C-alpha cells in the first residue's frame, strides 16, 4: 500500500571483543507500491536483519529507509505502520487465536462484528477456522504459524514483512496457501517483503527476488532474470534446482565464433565447446567460470555434441536427472520424461548456446549469457 | 516385569513416607507441643497422650502470661503485626523496584549492566552481622533506628536481589518477538512491559514474591539489632518466652504455629501460579 525504499542501508554490530560485524552492507532496494519481494539467501546472510531494520527493532547504522516517501529511520516500531509475521510466531499466549488475529483491529476500536467478519475471512483463507477458539499453546506449530501470518495480513499496514511465513507447513498445504496468499496480496495491493530460503517459494510468490550473501545484495531482479541473467557466480550457483553445472574454462578465439576449452579439476583439457556466435569482449585465453543450466542441456547425438558416460540416473516421475562424466568432469542433465540410460553407458550431451553462462575467474561477475546472444 | 513394578511401587511408597516423616515430624511435634502445658512438654519420656489445652494460644492472644513467677506481659500479637507490616512492605517495595530493573537487565544491554546486576546480587554474600554494626551507627545518626522505614530499607538487602535475579530469568525466557509484535501493533514500550512482559512473567514473579516474603518473614538479626520491642517481628519477639523463671516451650510452640500460618497460606495460594507457570513452560511452542 506504499512504496518502500532502502537507500544504502547498513547494519554493523559492535562486538564486545574483536572486530565489528557487518551484517548488512549498503543495501539499495526500491520497491514499488503493491510489489511482492522475496529476500533469498543462506542462513546468516543478513535477510532477517534487513527485515528487522525495516520493522524498527534494529537501528540502521547508516543509510535511510523510506515508506511512501517518508523517512522512518527514527520512528518507533509503533509509529511505522508496518505489519510483520515472525519466524517464531510470537503469538500472545493468554489470548485465543481469534483475539490474536484481531488484536490490532480491536485495539484501533473497530466494531466487534466487523473484526469478527474479517478474522473469519482470513481464517478461512489460511485454513485455521477450527483453531479459532483455542489458545496458541494448544495448537500445532503449523497452525500457530498461520495464526501469526493471519495476524499480520489482517492489518491495514503500509508494508508487510513476512519472516519465513510458511516454513512449518506440509508441502501440499504450502502449495495451496502460496497461491491463495499471492492472490490476497495482489488484490489488496499489499507491498510485501518476505524472507525465505526456499527458492521455489520465492519464485512462486515474488515479483522480484533479492538474493543476499554475507550482507551484500547480490542481485535484485525478477525470477526469470535471475535464471537467465545471473549477475554473478554466487547467484548462478544459488538459484536453480538442480544447481547450475560449473566448470573452469579458457576462452579460445583461435578460430571464428566462440570456443571454450573446459578444464578438469587438475587443469587439464576435458572437452571443448564451439559456437557460431559473434561475441564481443572475451579475450583469447582468458580464464573464466563456465556455467551450464541442467535444464538447458539436451541428450542426443547431433553435431557438436560432447561424448560422456552415464554415472547416475534418477527418475523423478516427470523428469530425469542424468549425471554424465565428460573427460573427467561431472555434469547433470535434466531431461523431460523418462530416459532409458544404463550406468556406464556412453551418452552424448548437446550444449546449446543459450545454456552457457560465463563468469570472471577472479571476481565472479557475469561476462556473458548465452541466452542474450542466442535470441 | 509385573513383579518388578509392584516391588518398585512398594519401595517408592516406603521411601516417600520416610522423606515425608523426616520433613514433617518437627512441624507435627511443634503442633502437638502448642497444645501442651510446660509440664507435659518436659515429661520424660515424652508421651503422645495428654489433655490438650488452649492455654498457650489464649496467653498469646490476650497478651498476658500467668506463670508461677507472676504475670508476664507479652506483645505477641503486636509482633505478629510488625512481621506482617515489615514483610509485606519490603516485598512490595522490592517488587516495585525490582521488576522494572529485572526487565531492564534482561532486555537492554547497557554499560556496566552486568556489573550492576552482580553488585546487587553480591549484597547477599555479605554476612549480615558485618554490615549491621556500621549500619546501626548510621541509622542512629539518621534517626532511622527503630523505625519501620529503616527496617524496610534494610530488608531490601534480602528481598531485592532475590526478586531481581529470579524475575530477570523469566523475562529473558519470554520471546522478544512477542513484545516486538505488540509494539508493531501500535503500542509503546511501557505498555508492552505492563501488558505483555509482566503477565507472561507472572509465574516467576509469584515464585520470587513468595520466596522473598519467606526470607523477609524469617529474618531475625536485622530486627534484633535495629529495632526495639514495639517494632520487632515475631522471630525476635519469641525471645521474650525465655524468661527468668524458665523457658515457656508451650508458648514458643504456639507462637511458631501462629507465625508459620501466614507463610503457609501464602505458599498454598501461590502454588497455583507456580504450577501454572511450569505447565505453561512445558507446552510453550
- Delimit the domains of chain A by residue range: 4-238, 245-371
Q: Is the pLDDT of residue B178 over 50?
A: yes
For position A71, what pLDDT does the model report? 94
CB A336 within 8 A of CB A294: no
Question: Fold identical between A4-238 and A245-371?
Answer: no
Chain A residues inside the 8 Å CB shell of B177: 86-90
**pLDDT attached to residue A337:** 86
Q: Nearest-CA distance from B103 to chain A in Å?
A: 17
> What pLDDT shows up at residue A219?
95
| Average pLDDT value for chain B | 84
Mean pLDDT of B224-244: 83
Q: Do B180 and A76 touch (CB under 8 A)?
A: no
Tell me: pLDDT of B124 over 60: yes
Q: How confident is the model at residue B220 (pLDDT cuts 50, 70, 90)?
A: confident
Give chain A positions within 8 Å (CB) of B188: 76, 78
Q: A151 near A101, Cβ under 8 Å?
A: yes
Cβ–Cβ contact B285 with A under 8 A: yes
Domain A4-238 is classified in which CATH homologous superfamily? P-loop containing nucleotide triphosphate hydrolases (3.40.50.300)
- Cα–Cα distances in Å, from B217 out to A141, B155, B164, B206? 45, 10, 18, 16
What are the residue boundaries of the structural domains of chain B, listed by start? Answer: 2-73, 76-283
What is the average pLDDT across B141-160? 90
Give pLDDT, residue B69.
62
Does ipTM exceed 0.95? no
User: What pLDDT score does A254 carry?
Assistant: 83
Q: Do B283 and A137 touch (CB under 8 A)?
A: yes
pLDDT of residue B264: 85
Task: Give the separation between CA A300 and CA A55, rounded to whole angstroms.
Answer: 53
Using a CB–CB cutoff of 8 Å, tell me whether A156 touches chain B: no
Mean residue pLDDT across chain A: 91
Q: Looking at beta carbons, which residues of chain B come within 8 Å of A55?
A: 180, 184
- How far is the C-alpha of A268 from the C-alpha of A277, rounded, in Å? 25
Is B282's pLDDT higher than 50? no
Distance from CA of A18 to the nearest CA of B (A): 17
Cis-peptide, bond into residue A79, ω within 30° of zero: no
- pLDDT given at position B281: 43
- Does the distance separating the beta carbons of A94 and B181 come in below 8 Å? no
The model's pLDDT over B26-85, given as tens digits with 9 standing for 90+, comes to: 888 889 888 988 888 888 887 777 888 888 888 888 877 766 666 777 788 888 899 999
Question: Hey, what long-range contacts does A17-23 have (CB within 8 A, 24 or more apart)?
Answer: A22/A215, A23/A49, A23/A215
The pLDDT assigned to B285 comes to: 36
Q: Tell me which fold the domain B76-283 belongs to.
A: MetI-like fold (1.10.3720)
pLDDT at A252 over 50: yes
Per the model's pLDDT, the better-predicted residue between A33 and B247 turns out to be A33
Distance from CA of A139 to the nearest CA of B (A): 9
Q: Averaged over A211-233, what is the pLDDT?
A: 93
Contact A59/B at CB under 8 A: no
As a CATH number, domain A245-371 is 2.40.50.140
Contacts of A94 in chain B (CB under 8 A): 199-200
Amino acid at each position: 500500500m506504499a512504496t518502500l525504499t532502502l537507500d544504502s542501508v547498513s547494519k554493523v554490530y559492535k562486538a564486545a571483543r574483536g572486530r565489528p560485524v557487518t551484517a548488512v552492507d549498503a543495501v539499495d532496494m526500491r520497491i514499488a507500491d503493491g510489489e511482492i519481494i522475496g529476500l533469498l539467501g543462506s542462513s546468516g546472510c543478513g535477510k532477517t536483519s534487513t527485515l528487522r531494520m525495516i520493522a524498527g527493532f534494529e537501528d540502521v547504522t547508516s543509510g535511510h529507509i523510506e515508506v511512501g516517501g517518508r523517512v522512518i529511520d527514527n520512528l518507533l516500531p509503533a509509529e511505522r505502520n508496518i505489519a510483520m509475521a515472525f519466524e517464531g510466531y510470537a503469538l500472545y499466549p493468554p489470548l485465543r487465536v481469534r483475539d490474536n488475529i484481531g488484536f490490532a483491529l480491536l485495539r484501533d476500536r473497530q466494531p466487534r462484528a466487523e473484526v469478527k467478519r474479517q478474522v473469519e475471512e482470513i481464517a478461512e483463507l489460511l485454513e485455521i477456522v477450527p483453531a479459532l477458539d483455542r489458545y496458541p499453546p494448544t495448537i500445532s506449530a503449523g497452525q500457530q504459524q498461520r495464526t501469526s501470518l493471519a495476524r499480520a495480513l489482517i492489518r491495514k499496514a503500509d508494508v508487510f514483512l513476512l519472516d519465513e511465513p510458511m516454513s512449518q507447513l506440509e508441502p501440499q498445504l504450502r502449495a495451496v496457501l502460496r497461491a491463495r496468499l499471492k492472490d490476497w496480496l495482489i488484490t489488496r495491493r499489499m507491498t510485501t517483503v518476505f524472507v525465505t530460503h526456499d527458492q521455489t517459494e520465492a519464485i512462486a510468490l515474488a515479483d522480484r527476488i533479492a538474493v543476499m550473501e554475507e550482507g551484500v545484495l547480490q542481485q535484485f531482479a525478477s525470477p526469470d532474470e535471475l535464471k537467465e541473467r545471473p549477475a554473478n557466480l554466487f547467484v548462478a550457483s544459488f538459484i536453480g534446482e538442480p544447481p547450475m553445472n560449473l566448470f573452469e574454462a579458457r576462452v579460445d578465439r583461435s578460430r571464428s565464433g566462440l570456443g571454450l576449452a573446459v578444464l578438469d579439476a587438475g587443469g587439464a583439457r576435458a572437452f571443448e565447446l564451439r559456437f557460431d556466435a559473434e561475441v564481443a569482449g572475451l579475450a583469447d585465453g582468458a580464464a573464466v567460470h563456465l556455467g551450464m543450466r541442467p535444464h538447458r542441456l539436451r541428450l542426443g547425438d547431433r553435431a557438436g555434441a560432447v561424448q560422456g558416460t552415464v554415472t547416475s540416473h534418477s527418475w523423478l516421475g516427470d523428469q530425469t536427472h542424468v549425471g554424465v562424466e565428460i573427460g573427467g568432469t561431472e555434469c547433470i542433465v535434466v531431461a523431460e520424461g523418462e530416459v532409458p540410460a544404463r550406468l556406464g553407458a556412453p551418452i552424448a550431451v548437446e550444449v546449446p548456446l543459450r545454456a552457457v553462462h560465463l563468469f570472471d575467474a577472479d571476481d565472479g561477475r557475469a561476462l556473458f549469457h548465452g541466452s542474450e546472444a542466442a535470441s | 516385569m509385573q513383579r518388578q513394578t509392584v516391588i518398585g511401587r512398594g519401595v517408592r511408597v516406603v521411601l516417600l513416607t520416610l522423606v515425608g516423616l523426616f520433613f514433617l515430624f518437627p512441624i507435627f511435634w511443634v503442633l502437638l507441643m502448642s497444645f501442651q502445658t510446660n509440664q507435659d512438654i518436659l515429661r520424660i519420656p515424652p508421651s503422645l497422650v495428654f489433655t490438650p489445652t488452649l492455654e498457650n494460644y489464649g496467653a498469646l492472644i490476650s497478651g498476658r502470661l500467668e506463670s508461677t513467677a507472676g504475670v508476664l506481659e507479652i506483645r505477641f500479637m503486636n509482633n505478629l503485626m510488625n512481621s506482617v507490616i515489615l514483610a509485606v512492605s519490603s516485598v512490595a517495595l522490592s517488587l516495585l523496584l525490582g521488576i522494572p530493573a529485572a526487565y531492564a537487565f534482561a532486555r537492554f544491554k547497557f554499560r556496566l549492566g552486568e556489573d550492576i546486576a552482580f553488585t546487587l546480587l553480591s549484597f547477599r554474600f555479605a554476612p549480615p552481622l558485618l554490615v549491621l554494626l556500621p549500619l546501626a551507627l548510621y541509622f542512629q545518626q539518621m534517626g532511622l533506628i527503630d523505625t519501620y522505614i529503616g527496617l524496610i530499607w534494610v530488608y531490601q538487602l534480602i528481598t531485592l536481589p532475590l526478586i531481581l535475579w529470579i524475575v530477570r530469568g523469566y523475562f529473558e525466557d519470554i520471546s522478544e518477538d512477542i513484545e516486538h509484535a505488540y509494539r508493531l501493533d501500535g503500542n509503546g514500550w511501557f505498555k508492552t512491559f505492563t501488558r505483555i512482559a509482566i503477565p507472561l512473567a507472572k509465574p516467576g514473579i509469584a515464585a520470587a514474591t513468595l520466596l522473598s516474603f519467606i526470607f523477609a518473614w524469617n529474618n531475625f538479626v536485622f530486627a534484633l539489632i535495629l529495632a526495639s520491642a514495639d517494632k520487632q517481628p515475631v522471630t525476635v519477639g519469641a525471645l521474650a518466652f525465655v524468661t527468668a523463671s524458665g523457658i515457656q516451650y508451650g508458648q514458643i510452640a504456639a507462637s511458631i504455629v501462629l507465625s508459620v500460618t501466614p507463610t503457609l497460606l501464602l505458599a498454598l495460594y501461590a502454588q497455583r501460579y507456580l504450577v501454572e507457570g511450569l505447565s505453561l513452560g512445558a507446552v510453550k511452542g
